Amino acid sequence: MKQELTPTNTFQVIDEILAQQSAKLLSLSPQKTLITSFAELGNLIREETTDIEIITTLQQTLESIVSTQLQNFPENIFWDFDFLVSSMLRQALTADEGAIPFLKVFGEKMVCLTEMFGSKTEIRFRYVHDFIYGFDWARWVQKEPQNRAHVEPFSLVFFDYLLAKGKELLQRIKHGQVVSYKLCETGYRNPFTFSREPEDEYRLLTYLAEEQLIPVAAWDWNASPVWNKPYQEMRQQLALKLNIQPQRR
């Protein structure tokens, strides 16, 4: 029975799923190479709550999210989950509708987003980096900071915005109305002008992380997201500085 499993053991299952996929579990943290294991994250969760139902639901939700990411973003490079997990838990423990209903909705929306933006639909993004590391969120907040500055990067409100944006993008692609989202010769869409081939993406993001220019330090359980920096412009400038070539369409 699930109640007899320790939280660490249940979270170990997610580590095993990742290991089976042969994904190289790189962290974007300047201080370490590999991600925090889910067994370790399970221990951190247990420090915040001893409610077995919440812990079990959280594990099941994360297992679903991770499995969906592996299926839809097989070429993803960086796999940090620390802040996503702590944000999920923190929001669940204070949710008006209760932790369990919140976690179920959270999981459903995350799975929908992953499937919508991944390699199996017409959007065909290659990485989850812009979402997990907060670039999408920071860009969204900057449009209406007075209303959005206090919204969590992994809030249901922001998820709903991305789901609506994804549906709109799919419609635009269907009707041939995309300009900056055209397919690259690799078969993925890249809204940036510079190459995001794996070696270029790795160089650019690790440099930004070392300079503390990542909106959400997803490798840090206690991260403090920062939205008010010109991340888009800085990435463009850095791509030039690192001599990253233009994206081949």
Q: What is the pLDDT along the chain (249 residues), one digit of tens a residue?
A: 344 445 446 899 999 999 988 678 999 999 999 999 999 999 999 999 999 999 999 999 999 999 999 999 999 999 999 999 999 999 999 999 999 999 999 999 999 999 999 999 999 999 999 999 999 999 999 999 999 999 999 999 999 999 999 999 999 888 887 766 677 777 888 888 899 999 999 999 999 999 999 999 999 999 999 999 999 999 999 999 999 987 765
In a domain, 129, yes or no: yes
Dihedral-angle region of residue 195 (phi above 0 means left; psi in -120 to 50 means alpha; beta otherwise) = beta
Q: How many CB atoms lie within 10 A of CB 57?
A: 20
Cut 0.85: pTM above it: yes
In a domain, 34, yes or no: yes
In a domain, 20, yes or no: yes
C-alpha 140/C-alpha 227 separation (Å) is 9
Identify the pLDDT of residue 3.
45
Identify the pLDDT of residue 176.
81
Identify the pLDDT of residue 4.
46
Identify the pLDDT of residue 249.
52
- Please, are residues 225 and 134 in contact by the beta-carbon 8 Å criterion? yes
In a domain, 246, yes or no: no
In a domain, 249, yes or no: no
Say how many domains are in the chain: 1
Domain that holds residue 28: 2-241
Beta bridge partners of 246: 194
Identify the pLDDT of residue 70.
95
Identify the pLDDT of residue 185.
73
In a domain, 247, yes or no: no
In a domain, 16, yes or no: yes
CB neighbour burial string for 81-111, b if at least 16 within 10 angstroms, e if fewer? bbbbbbbbbebbeebeeebbebbeebbebbb
What backbone torsions phi and psi does residue 78 show, to the nearest 5 degrees? -105, 135
Identify the pLDDT of residue 9.
62
In a domain, 48, yes or no: yes
**Any residues with CB less than 8 A from the CB of 209 and at least 6 apart, and which?**
28, 29, 30, 217
What backbone torsions phi and psi does residue 9 show, to the nearest 5 degrees? -65, -40
